[in-house]
Structure 1
Amino acid sequence: MTSPQTISVPHLGGSTIGYATSGPVDASRPTLVMVNSFTTSADLYRPQFADEELARTANLLAIEPYGHGRTRARYADFTYWDTAIAALQVLDARDVRRAFVLGTSQGGWIAVRMALLAPDVVQGVVALGTSMDSESPRSRELGCWDGVTFCTPAIDALATPVGDDWVIPTDLVDAVLAEGLGDQVDEETRAFWHATHQQHYTGDDGRRRLRTSTINLRDRDGLHGRLDEVRCPVLWLHGTEDRVYSVANAQDEIGRFTSSPHAELQVVDGGQHFLSASDPAAVDAATVEFVRRWG
């Protein structure tokens, strides 16, 4: 994994997009774009960058969504569609004409948005612990979390401007880690993400980006009416211990990719919501096989 970098794209009045790579693009290999989960950064994919077989299979490029990591925009408001557009502009700027896209949680629905916007670019989607719905009653009836209840207190608490010395509260970071990695988060991992979050969410700009990201999570549009327009192969991996989105939801939604040449769900026993972090061996092996098959 290279040191974090940024690149300029024109979207949202001009944006600086944070990213990390496995090194220079090798045109002889496919490219795998990776999009991180809520409030995390490209660092979420440290296990993937460390996987030698995955790195031999594809050029790795982790892109940080709006509101996350080092990504900044001239305009203050953004949605998941904006991140999908900006990520495609990053590929264009780096002269990557085709790519697979892997996304964890929110990264999964960003990946599908990229496939919808640029079917000639996206060769395949690897979706991890995600959902294609809004935070709907249907979703909750299938055993998914109540995202409205989770997000609304944070949105309310982040409504008031703050000073330059503000940093994201660690109790909010811990709440995200509990949903993403379960209750048994080791102290090294917890300390890493405390420090990383407090690096990226500081001052009033950090408060605003965090609040908008949380609003987007709670209030996003669902993709059910568009999934039959996805024409690339889709591999969906979902952990049995995912406490945000259920296996039952994944089983229903994988069947909605009716125009995909191949849409498959693989259930990972014991896997958590941030599946790329909790079960990297299973994720990496399945991704290598998928990229080699469809690349």
Structure 2
Amino acid sequence: MSTTDTIQIPHLGGSTIGYRFGKAYDASLPTLVMVNSFSTSVELYRPQFADEKLSATANLLALEPYGHGRTRASYGQFTYWDTAIAGLQVLDALGISQAFVLGTSQGGWVAARMAMLAPGTVTGIIPLGTSMDFESQRSRELGCWDGIEFCTPAIDALAEAVGDDWVIPVELVDAVLAEGFGEDVPADDRAFWHETHQENYAGDAGRERLRISSINLRDRDGLHGRLDSVRCPVLWLHGTADRVYSVPNAEAEVELFVNSAGAELRVVEGGQHFLSATDPDEVNAAAVEFINRWR
């Protein structure tokens, strides 16, 4: 199903990172790294790969975080900081010295981490439908979801070893799809993501990757105290129909990029949480404009 390639990097005892280029790399163009949302894969960015104007503006490079897709590590434990380091090591391995980074949901805070770790490498970031907080009471008071309540039952259910014939239950997939795409997921898309998840999360190793990914989502560290170290420009897009993180939260957090070359929030009317997939026209046009402005 996937056209994902893999590349070797040294992080976490040696890692295999799943990635996909939209087309053959063109050194004359800037690069846009794209980091996918929870439990999805590079396939989340099919609408971006299909966009001719975006593809003509930048090399499109989707990277799969630890615990996702074809990415694997020698060590069994990982955090979002590890994914940020891995992304930078992939760029180095590919000979790409600078890149913009777009991230959907969890990909947004990976993008911010990459910008903090390597300000000379990350030219700008485009967070989509995200939050820079941990799963805090503050964020819930601003209308965000209760990520602890959402994740904990799955974490508990995934605690025991399973056989080789195990695949992720469709009920878990549907719960993610509802939060990311809204209730009205087209039947073809739902079937696609059922199959993709069950390819990526199979057997006991798949169960363990999914469990650690869920723990990361629930128990991650917040970035508020670190955001002043982001120097590059920031374009944050957020949908009004986002069921996970709210527009008021985004409005408050974009103000924390106090040393950014320019931090802007754009609200997408009716946009869902997985904004790159549900509202690609708005996202792709904004990305083209942002890249052309700051390249």
TM-score (norm 2): 0.99
The CA deviation string for residues 187-246 of structure 1, in whole angstroms up to 9 with x for no partner, is: 000000000000000000000000000000000000000001100000000000000000
The CA deviation string for residues 79-123 of structure 1, in whole angstroms up to 9 with x for no partner, is: 000000001000000000000000000000000000000000000
2:186 aligned partner: 186
Query: What's the secondary structure of 2:224's corresponding residue?
Result: coil
Corresponding position: 1:166 with 2:166: yes
Q: Distance in 2 between matches of 1:83 and 1:155?
A: 20
2:232 aligned partner: 232
Equivalent runs, 1:75-224 vs 2, <5 Å = 75-224=75-224
Q: Distance in 1 between matches of 2:221 and 2:277?
A: 26
Query: What's the secondary structure of 1:38's corresponding residue?
Result: coil
Q: Distance in 1 between matches of 2:282 and 2:138?
A: 29
Deviation of 1:3 after TM superposition, in Å, equals 2.0
The CA deviation string for residues 25-53 of structure 1, in whole angstroms up to 9 with x for no partner, is: 21111000000000000000000000000
Q: Distance in 2 between matches of 1:3 and 1:279?
A: 23
The CA deviation string for residues 41-72 of structure 1, in whole angstroms up to 9 with x for no partner, is: 00000000000000000000000000000000
Structure 2: gaps of 5 or more residues = none
Corresponding position: 1:267 with 2:272: no
Deviation of 1:24 after TM superposition, in Å, equals 2.4
Q: Distance in 2 between matches of 1:103 and 1:116?
A: 15
Query: What's the secondary structure of 1:225's corresponding residue?
Result: helix
Query: What's the secondary structure of 1:76's corresponding residue?
Result: coil
2:293 aligned partner: 293
Deviation of 1:23 after TM superposition, in Å, equals 2.1
Q: Distance in 2 between matches of 1:31 and 1:216?
A: 27
2:66 aligned partner: 66
User: Number of residue pairs matched?
Assistant: 294
Q: Distance in 2 between matches of 1:20 and 1:229?
A: 29
Identity of aligned residues (%): 72
Q: Distance in 2 between matches of 1:175 and 1:277?
A: 17
Deviation of 1:158 after TM superposition, in Å, equals 0.1
Query: What's the secondary structure of 1:226's corresponding residue?
Result: helix
Equivalent runs, 1:30-45 vs 2, <5 Å = 30-45=30-45
Structure 1: gaps of 5 or more residues = none
The CA deviation string for residues 229-279 of structure 1, in whole angstroms up to 9 with x for no partner, is: 100000000000000000000000000000001000000000000000000
Deviation of 1:11 after TM superposition, in Å, equals 0.3
* Aligned residue type for 1:99: A
The CA deviation string for residues 145-182 of structure 1, in whole angstroms up to 9 with x for no partner, is: 00000000000000000000000000000000000000
* Aligned residue type for 1:242: D
Query: What's the secondary structure of 2:87's corresponding residue?
Result: helix
Q: Distance in 2 between matches of 1:292 and 1:270?
A: 26
Corresponding position: 1:46 with 2:46: yes
Q: Distance in 1 between matches of 2:38 and 2:81?
A: 15
2:22 aligned partner: 22
Q: Distance in 2 between matches of 1:3 and 1:192?
A: 15
Q: Distance in 2 between matches of 1:228 and 1:143?
A: 24
Q: Distance in 2 between matches of 1:90 and 1:42?
A: 15
Q: Distance in 1 between matches of 2:27 and 2:193?
A: 34
Alignment RMSD (CA, Å): 0.6
